[in-house]
Amino acid sequence: MTSLLEEPLQLEKILVNILAGSPEVFAFISMIVISFACARFNVPNKIFMPLIFLFVIMFASTIGLGFYLLGVLIAGLTTFYSISRLMKR
């Protein structure tokens, strides 16, 4: 087993295994981060929706759970709309 100092550009190992612990948790965390960034910078819905759908399609092969991805999609949309409403005030 090699350390992170020997392989510094192993982004999948660093982000998925060390930061989140599993691909499912990583997908959830990254969906929330993407939704927060889009809401913070006032990204229009016409751009946000394809971005989220591409993200879900990209992680569908990694995770393989359709219902989980649906939950992640709903959580991302809820985060986007709630934060965008808070930023408009």
Query: How many domains is the chain partitioned into structurally?
Result: 1
4 lies in a domain? no
R_g of the chain computed on alpha carbons: 15
74 lies in a domain? yes
39 lies in a domain? yes
Per-residue confidence band for 2, with pLDDT thresholds at 50, 70 and 90:
low
10 lies in a domain? no
48 lies in a domain? yes
pTM, 2 dp? 0.62
With vertex at residue 61, the alpha carbon angle to CA 58 and CA 63, rounded to the nearest 5 degrees, is 100
Residue-number span of the structural domain to which 57 is assigned: 20-88
What's the distance, CA 34 to chain centroid?
6
Q: How far is the CA of 5 from the CAs of 1, 13, 15, 22, 53, in angstroms?
A: 12, 12, 15, 21, 35
- Mind listing the pLDDT tens digit for each residue in 41-52? 888 888 888 887
Has residue 1 got a pLDDT over 70? no
2 lies in a domain? no
27 lies in a domain? yes
Has residue 65 got a pLDDT over 80? no
